[in-house]
């Protein structure tokens, strides 16, 4: 989406979010919670799509809820799988982990660009 206001052009990137729940029907509240958490990821990370899969652990006696998130980005996708006693906590942990991965990738990219600039200046 491109928004033009005066002489300032702002590009807004809206990522697709696909939510799958295996073996149960996710509530609207849970789906909205996922969208809210994923909206905290920065749009300049070039995220095309977020695939979220929710499922419960194999042992029903032990409450273990899993959240898998695959972020589709240019290049290699980012994948995280987290589990905890409830879905909200699994989602929180997975999104925090993805934020760390994205931050680390952005730092690596900046370092490469700075190294490239300093090499060009030395020549």
Q: DSSP states of 47-67 as a string?
A: --EEEEEEEE-S-TTS--EEE
| Whether the predicted pLDDT of 6 surpasses 70 | no
Q: What's residue 15's pLDDT?
A: 78
| Whether the predicted pLDDT of 79 surpasses 90 | yes
Q: What's residue 51's pLDDT?
A: 96
Q: Give residue limits of the domains in the chain.
A: 16-122
Q: What is the pTM of this model?
A: 0.78
| 16-122: CATH number | 3.30.160.100
The torsion angle over the Cα atoms of residues 25, 90, 34 and 36, rounded to 10 degrees, is: 150
Q: Which residue has the higher pLDDT, 109 or 93?
A: 93
């Amino acid at each position: 989406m491109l928004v033009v206001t005066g002489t300032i052009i702002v590009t807004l990137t809206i990522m697709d979010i696909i939510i799958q729940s295996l073996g149960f029907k996710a509530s609207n509240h849970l789906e909205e919670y996922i969208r809210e958490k994923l909206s905290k990821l920065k749009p300049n990370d070039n995220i095309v799509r977020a695939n979220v899969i929710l499922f419960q652990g194999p042992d029903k006696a032990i409450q273990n809820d899993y959240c898998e998130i695959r972020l589709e980005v240019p290049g290699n996708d980012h994948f995280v799988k987290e589990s905890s006693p409830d879905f909200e906590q699994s989602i929180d942990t997975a999104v925090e982990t993805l934020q760390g991965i994205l931050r680390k990738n952005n730092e690596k990219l900046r370092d490469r660009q700075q190294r490239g600039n300093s090499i060009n200046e030395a020549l």
